[in-house]
Amino acid sequence: MEDEIVEKPKLEQNEIKPEKSEKQKEEELKNELKEELKDIGEIQIVEIKNEDDLKKLNENLDRVEITNLQSPNILKALNTIKFKKLEVLALSNTNMNSIDFLINENFKSLIIFESKNNKINSIQKLSEAPFKDLKVLDLSFNEISSIDNLSKCLFKNLEILILSNNHIEKINQIAACGFTKLNKLDICNNKITNIDCLVDNDSLKNLEYLYLSDNNISKISVLEKEIFKNLKELQLDSNKIEEIDVLANAYFTELKELYLYNNQINNIDVFSNVKFNKLNILNLGRNNITDIKPLESSKFTELTKLDLFDNKIKSIEVLKNVPFKQTIKELDLSYNSLESVDILDDKTFNFEELRFGGNDSLDYSNTKIKDIYDMHKIKYTFESLL
């Protein structure tokens, strides 16, 4: 079977998709919490998608999910019912512009509140809401520009806070919130430039998932603080980061996934000195990297996925000596300046997916690698980002 070589145009910034679906990760975490809410008996759930469905609301419901319904009767119905044990309230694409209705004892049992893809522009009165046992707060895809009142919220059990896709510029209040059980913080796709305030106190000491992608961050010196020692996943994609030397001092002893694609990084010498050795996924795509030799002396003995697409790399000879040679499963070298990929014909590699298309200097007709890998066992492609 012959592979057809097709030159693909480079993707625009907003077309790049992260390796793992962020939505899937959020849903997995929230579903875990939802499972915890189950009692021995049956849970009563109602999904509302039209006006008639609003009649299904009753005081004995455990969960209410309202999706794709724009109606002024939603708030009227929610405030009319005296919910006895409502634990999950999810409102998606309802055109709602305020969450002031939550200041009602009817919602005191809430553990999960989601208001996604609405038009909420203020959370000023959120601190007056009666629910004190909230574990998940998702206000993504709204029009929120300020979270100054967040520190007044007494959500001591909050585990997941999602504020992605809003217009937030300052996040000073997050560290002052006292959310000591916070496990995941997602503030992707906002207008944040400074993250130094994240270490004002130990509110984030249990944080494991920190998502900061698609902002205007250029300095990440705050990450060397010990408060981030429990991080398992760090997303810093699509920012304005040039220097990552600070990572040499980071306490990322538990870090498994690091995403730095679409920045302005040209030097990765720091990876010769970093203290974290449990890394499984490293994404350095779409930067200005020319030399990957520091990977040879890294401690990434558990790395399974490495993305280096769209850089300026000419040689990959160093890969024959990397510590992750036997663990690496997925490698993306697309859109670089590679002159040869024959080093990859080493049978000690055990790739499941390998990409090196878009390298203009590479003579595809003479690559030895075709003769080595079983085409039925590997997603071998000259193309990239399919």
Highest-confidence range of 41-45, 212-216, 250-254, by mean pLDDT? 212-216
Asked if 20 and 38 touch (Cβ cutoff 8 Å), the reply is no
**What pLDDT score does 23 carry?**
60
- Domain residue spans of the chain: 228-386
Q: Indicate if the pLDDT at residue 5 is higher than 50.
A: no
Instruction: Give me the residue label for tokens 């724009």.
Output: 70
H helices within the chain, ranges in order? 22-36, 73-80, 172-175
Task: State whether CATH 3.40.50.300 applies to domain 228-386.
Answer: no
More confident residue, 215 or 381: 215
Asked if 150 and 126 touch (Cβ cutoff 8 Å), the reply is yes
Asked if 273 and 248 touch (Cβ cutoff 8 Å), the reply is yes
CA 249 to each of CA 194, 204, 232, 324, 334: distance values in angstroms, whole numbers, following the listed order = 19, 18, 16, 22, 31
> Among 183, 250, 185, which Cα is nearest to 213's?
185
DSSP 25: H
Q: What is the pLDDT of residues 68-111, one digit of tens each?
A: 999 888 988 998 899 999 999 999 999 999 999 999 998 999 99
**What pLDDT score does 332 carry?**
95
Q: What is the DSSP string of 124-184?
A: TTGGG-S-S---EEE--SS-----TTGGG---TT--EEE--SS-----HHHHTS--TT--E
**What pLDDT score does 208 carry?**
97
This prediction has a pTM of: 0.86
Q: What is the pLDDT of residues 284-301, one digit of tens each?
A: 999 999 999 999 999 999
339/337 Cα distance (integer angstroms): 6
More confident residue, 36 or 126: 126
| Token pair in block for residue 190 | 């906002």
Q: What is the pLDDT of residues 293-322, one digit of tens each?
A: 999 999 999 999 999 999 999 999 999 999
Residue 323: phi and psi, rounded to 5, are -70, -10
Buried b (16+ CB within 10 A) or exposed e, 226-262: ebbbbbbbbbbbbbebebbeebeebbbeebbbbbbbb
206/130 Cα distance (integer angstroms): 25
**What pLDDT score does 378 carry?**
56
Banded pLDDT at 32 (limits 50, 70, 90): low
**What pLDDT score does 235 carry?**
98
For residues 190-202, average pLDDT: 85
Q: Kindly compute the dihedral angle of the four CA atoms of residues 274, 276, 281, 283, in this order, to the nearest 10 degrees.
A: -30
Q: What is the pLDDT of residues 339-377, one digit of tens each?
A: 888 888 778 888 889 898 899 888 766 666 655 444 445
Q: Indicate if the pLDDT at residue 52 is higher than 60.
A: yes
30/12 Cα distance (integer angstroms): 31
Average pLDDT, the chain: 85
In the chain, % of residues over pLDDT 70: 82
Q: What is the pLDDT of residues 144-179, one digit of tens each?
A: 999 988 888 889 899 999 999 999 999 988 877 888
Q: In a 3-state reduction of DSSP, which class is residue 307?
A: strand
Strands (E), 41-146: 45-48, 63-67, 88-92, 112-116, 136-138
> Among 123, 71, 125, which Cα is nearest to 96's?
71
